[in-house]
């Protein structure tokens, strides 16, 4: 997958996120912060503060204007999780999928052995609906967060 190829020279290459990989991804993201959609930046910061999770791609969603009606692309998050976080996610994913504004959840497996998730949800540019979905995503992953000693 193209997303993780951007990190090939950054991460160790296991299926799941490690603490060392997360530090490397955050450092890499900091160098490319200018490329992150402005509307989603505050939420990416909050997500990346959660232990066991790293954002590897994000999109705030965008308005598409054509000759016909105005259309909004969904916002997307691609997250790489630690093994314990992924197990918890799989056990509780339907709870997140039921949140209003969440379009769909994917678990993706790459030929080179990575496992990560994509969340598609209401565009962050659609101010009223998006905030509920994005805040629910953050709350959901905080509830799964790895705690030291557990």
pLDDT digits over 23-75, tens only?
A: 888 877 766 666 777 778 888 889 999 999 998 888 777 777 777 777 677 88
Task: Give pTM, 2 decimals.
Answer: 0.81
Kindly state whether residue 150 falls inside one of the protein's structural domains: no
Asked if 124 and 61 touch (Cβ cutoff 8 Å), the reply is yes
Structural domain boundaries, residue 109 = 2-61+72-144
* Structural tokens at position 128: 């009223």
How far apart, in Å, are the Cα atoms of 57 and each of 45, 71, 128, 132? 13, 22, 23, 20
Kindly state whether residue 149 falls inside one of the protein's structural domains: no
Kindly state whether residue 15 falls inside one of the protein's structural domains: yes
Kindly state whether residue 49 falls inside one of the protein's structural domains: yes
H/E element, 131 = helix 127-144
Kindly state whether residue 67 falls inside one of the protein's structural domains: no
Domain count, the chain: 1
Kindly state whether residue 14 falls inside one of the protein's structural domains: yes
Kindly state whether residue 89 falls inside one of the protein's structural domains: yes
**Dist CA 90 CA 93 (whole Å):** 5
Q: Collapsing DSSP states into helix, strand and coil, what is residue 126?
A: coil
pLDDT of 6 over the 90 cut = no
Kindly state whether residue 66 falls inside one of the protein's structural domains: no
């Amino acid at each position: 997958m193209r997303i993780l190829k951007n990190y090939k020279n950054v991460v160790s290459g296991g299926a799941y996120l490690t603490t060392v990989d997360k530090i490397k991804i955050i450092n890499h993201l900091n160098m490319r912060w200018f490329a992150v959609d402005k509307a989603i930046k505050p939420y990416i910061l909050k997500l990346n503060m959660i232990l066991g999770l790293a954002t590897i791609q994000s999109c705030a969603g965008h308005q598409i204007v054509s000759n016909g009606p105005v259309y909004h692309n969904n916002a997307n998050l691609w997250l790489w999780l630690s093994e314990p976080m992924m197990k918890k996610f799989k056990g509780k994913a339907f709870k997140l999928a039921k949140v209003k504004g969440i379009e769909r959840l994917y678990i993706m497996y790459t030929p080179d052995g990575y496992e990560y998730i994509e969340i598609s949800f209401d565009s962050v540019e659609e101010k009223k609906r998006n905030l509920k979905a994005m805040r629910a995503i953050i709350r959901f992953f905080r509830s799964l967060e790895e705690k030291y000693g557990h």
